[in-house]
Amino acid sequence: MRRAALFAIVLGAFATVAGAATAKVLRVGTYRGVRGQYTTIQAAVNAARPGDWILIAPGDYKTTKVLTPKGYPDFPAAVLITKRDLHIRGMNRSTVIVDGTKPGSAACSSKASAQNFGPRGGANGAYSSGSSSTAPSGVNGVMVFKAANVSIENLTACNFLGGSRDTGNGIWWNGGANSGRVGGHGYYGAYLSATSTYFGGMSKAGEQTAARYGIFSSNWDGGTWNQVYGSNMNDSAFYIGACRQMCNQTVNHAWGEFSALGYSGTNSGGRLVIENSQFDNNEDGFDTNSQNADEPSPQNGACPNNGISPITHTHSCWVFMHNYVHDNNNPNVPAAGSAAAGPVGTGMSVSGGRNDTIMDNRFVNNRAWGLIIVPYLDSGKPCTGGTLNALGQGSCLFDEWGDAVVGNSFVNNGGYGHPTNGAFAEVNFEGGNPTNCFSGNVAAGGGPLNTYAAALEQAFPSCNGSAAPSTLATYGQFLGEVLCDSQVELAPGKPASCPTGPYPRATRVVMHPLPKHLPTMPNPCAGVPSNPWCVGRKH
């Protein structure tokens, strides 16, 4: 099925529910002088029934209380949605703000005194930022918990900070994080922005408080993001994970920047398409990986049931296409956890990923590599899909294989000048798995690739399923440079050496404002049942 057709079907499904005779329109705030029935988003959500619409007037909607799903205290949220088939829409993307900062502060204030760090100790309740022996929980912004077919559109979320619990996500479709199961089905998100203005600084223990993810989907089957933006995250602007080969999601016209990773996707595969999007000014522009987290692992882009993709015409249904990945050379971003190991200067990393297709993209001015394909080394069990003890007792190796790099343009990559820097590079540890393939890729003006990338095209031109040898002996120098760039510690306190010289390191974290003129919905009344805010407007 073509992506445009699928997009129309998704919109049509939401419109059908919305058009039901029983659907009501609940209004939050005051719009064009007409007061709504509710002053808070959560009050409208509490009153809504499946199929209803919630419209939100421009305003700064501060967080004064957090809620958690029943039986799940680790997921505190400012706005909690557990009812299916709701349609939540702001009347203006830039001026409808779901805000994590304290009442009385400026919208999305960067001041430390304005931040809410989440409740200490208890699950529900008012915020506290006073001293306590119990670490604050952090908080999520808008969270959809296991509720099918909820749409969220045309608003901005800011300053939702991480803490001791599973928090720090601006807008989250949560199908049951850490359960190892897919518990959510269907969503639509459009004209959304997620950012943070606050960074808590560094200490000897590492990075202090920051926002973690902008727009987030986990343990979810089926959904679309369109016209979305994320920035200033210490993990990634966008995240899709823990759906293995049941993801069935599309990311279209996304823009991720000024984060450790513009996008990350752990153990997300099957039918998953990222297209027409831009990733820039991150440490590492885009990363998909296998990992002992957000189970079930591994990341596998093969079509379910040995199917054929209508896009690639192969057995690979995970597709990254028609994207612009550029200038990801920024070490001065928030960065924590495994995301901090994203190699600065890299446009895209496939880390332990399998059967993925990267086609018809532009990789421009990423000063280490445009694209790298590497194993992911983790530790311990469950190591599902990985090799336990492959590199020593307690290690878990997720090797990569079956990835296709086809018809991409690489311009001015490799500016750091290390020997393997350039368009793309690859290394795999274990022989006997299906080969990666590289074909039809060009440098500036259609010219030849750098020597390292050209050698890969010559050696592995076809993803024909044949077994590939280990390339560690051949491409070990590349591996050494990646380890250096990532600042990976091969043993505690012993970072990898840098035989060809260092890569840039952070000097200070810089938080950037939202871009001006992000597009808002042309007509926020479109498809909405008749209501006082939409009188005289086509809908």
Residue 119 has a pLDDT of 87
Cβ proximity of 51 and 18 under 8 Å: yes
Residue 12 has a pLDDT of 43
Nearest to 245 by CA among 187, 174, 318: 318
The rounded distance, in Å, linking the Cα atoms of 54 and 24 is 8
Dihedral angle of Cα 174, 253, 262, 410, to the nearest 10 degrees = 140
Tell me the chain's radius of gyration from C-alpha atoms. Answer: 23
3-state DSSP call for residue 12? helix
Helix (H) or strand (E) holding 170: strand 169-174
Residue 529 has a pLDDT of 96
Residue 446 has a pLDDT of 81
Residue 95 has a pLDDT of 98
ω into 296 cis (within 30 of 0): yes
* Residue-by-residue pLDDT tens, the chain, 539 positions: 334 434 433 444 444 444 445 899 999 999 999 999 999 999 999 999 999 999 999 999 999 999 999 999 999 999 999 999 999 999 999 999 999 999 999 999 999 999 999 987 644 444 334 334 478 999 999 999 999 999 999 999 999 999 999 999 999 999 999 999 999 999 999 999 999 999 998 766 667 789 999 999 999 999 999 999 999 999 999 999 999 899 999 999 999 999 999 999 999 999 999 999 999 999 999 999 999 999 999 999 999 999 999 999 999 999 999 999 999 999 999 999 889 999 999 999 999 999 999 999 999 999 999 999 999 999 999 999 999 999 999 999 999 999 999 999 999 999 999 999 999 999 999 999 999 999 999 998 888 899 999 999 999 999 988 999 999 999 999 999 999 999 887 666 777 889 899 999 999 999 999 999 999 999 999 999 999 999 866 55
Residue 208 has a pLDDT of 76
DSSP letter for each residue of 63-90: --EEB--TT-TT--EEEEE-STT-EEEE
Cβ proximity of 281 and 327 under 8 Å: yes
Long-range contacts of 510-515 (CB under 8 A, 24+ apart): 510/258, 510/332, 510/333, 511/110, 511/196, 511/197, 511/198, 511/199, 511/232, 511/258, 511/334, 512/231, 512/232, 512/257, 512/258, 512/281, 513/197, 514/94, 514/156, 514/193, 514/195, 514/229, 514/231, 515/229
3-state DSSP call for residue 3? helix
Measured CA to CA in angstroms, residue 230 lies from 197, 209, 336, 340, 509 at distances of 12, 18, 17, 17, 17
**Count, residues in the chain:** 539
Enumerate the domain spans of the chain: 3-128+137-202+213-495
What does the block give as tokens for 358?
């990267």
What does the block give as tokens for 307?
């199917």
Residue 526 has a pLDDT of 97
pTM (2 d.p.) = 0.93
- The fold adopted by the segment(s) 3-128+137-202+213-495 is Pectate Lyase C-like (2.160.20)
The rounded distance, in Å, linking the Cα atoms of 301 and 269 is 4
Place of tokens 């994080």: 177
Alpha-helical (H) ranges within 196-269 are: none
